[in-house]
Amino acid sequence: MKSISTLKLLLLLTCLLSVFACDNRKPAAGPGKLRVVTTIFPIYDFARNVGGDLAEVSLLLPPGVEPHSFEPTPETIIALSRADLFIYTGSGMEPWAEKLADGVSRGGKPVRCEAGKGAHYLNSAHDHGGRRDEHAEHEHGKDPHIWLDPDNALSMVDRIAEGFAVARPAAAEKFAANAAAYKARLQELANRFNSGLAVCATREFVHGGHYAFAYLADRYKLQYISAYGVTAESEPSSQKLMELVRTIKNKKLHYIFFEELLSPRAAETVAAETGAALLKLHGIHNVTRSELDAGATYLSLMEQNLTVLRKGLECR
Ligand SMILES: [Zn+2]
């Protein structure tokens, strides 16, 4: 992960000024709606649920874009400079976020909300094949994929409701009620994960993608190995692929998981070597245009993940 340099930020701000010079568009939001800008899909979806009809929530990541290597563009800066509220995960997921918010700050706007503040964080060096993840190490070695732990999702919704309340104190009660209703649904999801993954033929979780599911593995006591590291910047080593192959053969596993962000090539290689079948898990960093059009939500994608995990781990 490259972090944005001061020089680059200045260049972006220069772009912003030149765009503003001839930009007469009215703000897109309807009258009175809180303009909320979010970074990744789970936060976008949580914010939609908390804001309800009082907010116009937008997602900075274009559909299908890989979020770990995302860098701000002039469009990002324009969106942020018009926002009332800016919600991001934390410095591990979006190392550019705070610097950028500083750059566009005007009279206390946008209000900033770090949704991952107070969440349960895992160390990114937990087990991802001994590969050091430089980006994560800059960020105190924390694994940024906190939203994949249903309990962390509950905490993130609380932080987001607090952010909304700061941005519009008059509607704080409404936001708190929306958050409570959504958290009840998240809690039901967490309960279904607990019961759905309680009794399984195996707890070996072999993943041909990047190290995104450590939170699920930690919560549900799964032995997790992945082909790539936390941010998937370099190709998996042949030793790592052999480790996946050996685990599948030794434990007589029938499935290997792949993911939405990376080509399934590593998983396919291991599948071809072992005869394991491929199953797709969704890391829910971002969604594609077709998923967005089909109405995908954090809850629907997590339900799919539960179904797929139950199949792959052969749960009763
Ligand atoms: Zn990731």
Q: Return the bridge partners of 59, or none.
A: 38
Grouping H, G, I as helix, E, B as strand and the rest as coil, residue 297 is coil
- Tens of pLDDT along 15-35? 555 555 444 444 444 459 999
Rounded to an integer, the average pLDDT of 113-119 is 97
Going from the Cα of 230 to the center of ligand 1, the distance in angstroms, rounded, reads: 6
Q: What is the pLDDT of residues 38-89, one digit of tens each?
A: 999 999 999 999 999 999 999 999 999 989 889 899 999 999 999 999 999 9
CA pair distance 280, 7, nearest whole angstrom: 40
Among 222, 285, 303, 298, residue whose Cα is nearest residue 65: 285
Cα–ligand 1 centroid distance for 211 (angstroms):
7
Residue type, 104: V
Residue with tokens 């090539």: 265
Taking the centre of ligand 1 as the mean of its atom positions, its distance from the CA of residue 275, in whole angstroms, is 27
Q: What is the pLDDT of residue 192?
A: 96
- 69 φ/ψ angles, rounded to the nearest 5 degrees: -105, 10
Q: What is the pTM of this model?
A: 0.87
Cα-Cα-Cα-Cα torsion 289, 293, 298, 303, nearest 10 degrees, comes to -110
Measured in Å, residue 53 CA sits from the centre of ligand 1 at 30
Q: How far is the CA of 180 from the centre of ligand 1 (A)?
A: 28
Query: Percent of the chain beyond pLDDT 70?
Result: 85
Q: Which residues pair with 123 in a beta bridge?
A: 142
Helix axes 6-21, 74-81, angle to 10 degrees: 70
- Give the total residue count for the chain: 316
What is the average pLDDT score of the chain? 88
pLDDT band at 14 (very low <50, low <70, confident <90, very high): low
Q: How large is the average pLDDT for residues 126-136?
A: 41
The answer to whether the CB of 85 falls within 8 A of the CB of 110 is: yes
SS3 261: coil
